[in-house]
Amino acid sequence: MRLPAVLGRSEFRRLFAVRLTSQFGDGVFQAGLAGSVLFNPERQAAPAQVAAGFAVLLLPYSFIGPFAGVLLDRWHRTRVLTVGGLARGVLVLAVAGEIAAGLTGPAFYASALVVLSLTRFVLSALSASLPHVVDSDELAGANALSTTVGGVATTLGAACAIFGRMLTGSHSGGYAVLAGAAAVPYLISAALTVRLPLASLGPDHAGRAERDTVRHVLRGLRAGVAALRARPAAAAGLSALAVHRLCYGICAICTVLLYRNWFTGEGMLRAGLSGLAQFVVATAVGGAAAALVSPRAIRRAGPVRWTSLLLACAGLVVLACLVPFRLPLFLLAGMLLGFCSQGIKICVDTLLQRAVEDAFRGRVFTIYDMVFNVALVVAAGLTAAALPSDGRSPTALAVVGVVYLGTAVVYLRSGGLSAWRPAATPTTAATR
């Protein structure tokens, strides 16, 4: 992974610290929000309600995400990170006030939407900035380290929030305190970016200085889509990731409902929010293992073969470990699916960073986020239509396992084995 070389770069260390503090705050906020909506005894959570929450929180940003990507290719990304951290630090306090007041209507979902949208915007900025602080041949290792340890930071933040629930209580006021606590790491992440030189994270091209009109945004969006279409290998990787997110989303919603409404504790293995925290920790352990294995596997097998193998493994895990609906097997599945999911993400992240030039990278990564969010919304809709209230559906999970296996075969055959080969890209002049 060449960790000494990557960590030896002061600019990378600063960006890495921004990611860790930001994603720790994400974990705290998301745990407070999820606890309030899904595990608060003062509220109910049926599959349709969970699906509606996913749609309200994710689908709008799926439409504005590409426009945000154009802005990432025009605005200084250091400023995006600073303002994004400050804005989230203030807005989570407003959401915490709404949780304390017991609000559940459109105003509550809209304010949570703004915070989560800013989170995706900041993560896109971090991904688009990474090639400015490491060399091209270090991207796979830097991605593995950044995204995996960032995921661990999110898990730690959620774990701290869940532990804090013992002190604050399982009621609206307690969850409000947990959600509001996310303001601290968000503000720290903003402070860490203040000393970064304004232009150090890009974008590099002259178009950044152009006035941001709707016409420019639409033209830039078309250029970003064209840049992605010009690279079939990158487009195929993004398509495989979309199917993976759809399947993973169905498994995730099943898991939430099962831990809330069906599982009972077995010794040290718990149900409810505490049990879900155990599942998340197991997923994080698997993701950490993927960070150690994937860079070397990518170099030896290539990104297409490695991604296809991970997709196939995910399908087998779903069929063998999730369908029996036993707590110990679910924890094992969480670890293995975390490994597969993180490995696929490392492959696709690195592929897009290498294949797409900086002038279009921000737009491509927000299209990436759009695909991620739409896939989760579709997954939520499917689970709302197909799942019982307790989340126990062997048929649904069996279908997910088969889809994983089929995607592995299709991607291996159609993704090509030259995923790193550069392709012609529309020039900046021609697309502006």
Q: pLDDT, tens digit, for every residue of 228-279?
A: 888 787 788 889 999 999 999 899 888 888 988 888 888 888 888 778 888 9
Torsion angle, CA of 248/337/309/416, rounded to 10 degrees?
40
Most confidently predicted of 111-120, 297-306, 328-337, 363-372 = 328-337
Band of residue 314 on the pLDDT scale cut at 50, 70, 90? very high
Report if residue 293 sits inside a domain.
Answer: yes
* Lowest-pLDDT choice from 150-164, 203-217, 378-392: 203-217
Band of residue 124 on the pLDDT scale cut at 50, 70, 90? confident
What's phi and psi for 203, nearest 5 deg?
Answer: -75, 160
pLDDT reported for residue 242? 92
Report if residue 425 sits inside a domain.
Answer: no
pLDDT reported for residue 16? 94
d(CA 225, CA 159): 38
Torsion angle, CA of 53/56/57/61, rounded to 10 degrees?
160
Report if residue 12 sits inside a domain.
Answer: yes
Residues 6+ apart with CB under 8 A from 227: 356, 357, 360, 363, 364, 425, 426, 431
pLDDT reported for residue 52? 64
Note the pLDDT tens digit of each residue in 108-119. Answer: 878 888 888 888
List the CATH number of the domain containing 62.
Answer: 1.20.1250.20
d(CA 334, CA 251): 10
Query: Where do the H-state alpha helices sit in 103-138?
Result: 106-129
Report if residue 199 sits inside a domain.
Answer: no
Q: How far is CA 63 from the centre of its chain?
A: 17
Whole-number Cα distances in Å, 187 to 88, 89, 163, 317 = 8, 6, 22, 39
Please name which of 213, 210, 240, 235 lies closest in space to residue 224, comparing C-alpha atoms: 235
Average of per-residue pLDDT across 344-369: 79
Report if residue 422 sits inside a domain.
Answer: no
Band of residue 341 on the pLDDT scale cut at 50, 70, 90? very high
Note the pLDDT tens digit of each residue in 60-94. Answer: 666 666 666 677 777 889 999 999 999 999 999 99
Report if residue 207 sits inside a domain.
Answer: no
Report if residue 430 sits inside a domain.
Answer: no
Please name which of 337, 267, 348 lies closest in space to residue 304, comparing C-alpha atoms: 348
Residues 6+ apart with CB under 8 A from 8: none
Residues 6+ apart with CB under 8 A from 427: none
Whole-number Cα distances in Å, 118 to 111, 186, 362 = 11, 11, 15
d(CA 171, CA 176): 9
CA Rg value for the chain: 21
Query: Where do the H-state alpha helices sit in 169-271?
Result: 172-181, 183-192, 214-229, 232-261
pLDDT reported for residue 217? 65
Domain of residue 264 covers 3-194+215-414
Sign of CA dihedral 411, 415, 416, 422: negative
Band of residue 431 on the pLDDT scale cut at 50, 70, 90? very low
User: Which residue did the predictor score with more confidence, 361 or 269?
Assistant: 269
Token reading at 318: 């779903």
Please name which of 185, 231, 287 lies closest in space to residue 415, comparing C-alpha atoms: 231
Domain count across the chain: 1
* 266 SS3 class: strand
Report if residue 202 sits inside a domain.
Answer: no
